[in-house]
Amino acid sequence: MKMKKNLIDYELLWEKITDYAKATGRTTARPVLLLYYVLRSPETPSSDKMLIVAALSLPIIGWIDEAVSLVYAYKKVCRYVTPEIESEVDNILERWFPEGKYELIEE
């Protein structure tokens, strides 16, 4: 019997996260994306990956306690957020939610 290497369908999870993040906005999307990339990191222990999967599942399926679960999971695994993960998340957020370019108009 062959064991699956990945028990998580990352492609499907990414689709769900994308939909959720775009519906909730940049501020809410940031910790969700950080958790996703920490989940994908080989440096993250399996026990912390399971915590992340549980935390990400709640908002995606619409439970009310989403904020609590995301904050708890993020605080537990934030040490695995690397500068590369931060940069990747910032790039994605900028594509999804481009910040308005404003000019000061002098009167």
How many other CB atoms are found less than 10 A from the CB of residue 8? 15
pLDDT tens per residue across all 107 residues of the chain: 343 456 788 898 899 899 888 888 888 889 999 999 999 999 999 999 999 988 888 765 555 556 677 778 888 899 999 999 999 999 999 999 887 544 445 55
- What is each CA distance from 3 to 6, 7, 12, 50, 53, in whole angstroms? 9, 9, 20, 18, 20
Which pLDDT score, from 0 to 100, does residue 2 have?
Answer: 42
Global confidence as pTM: 0.66
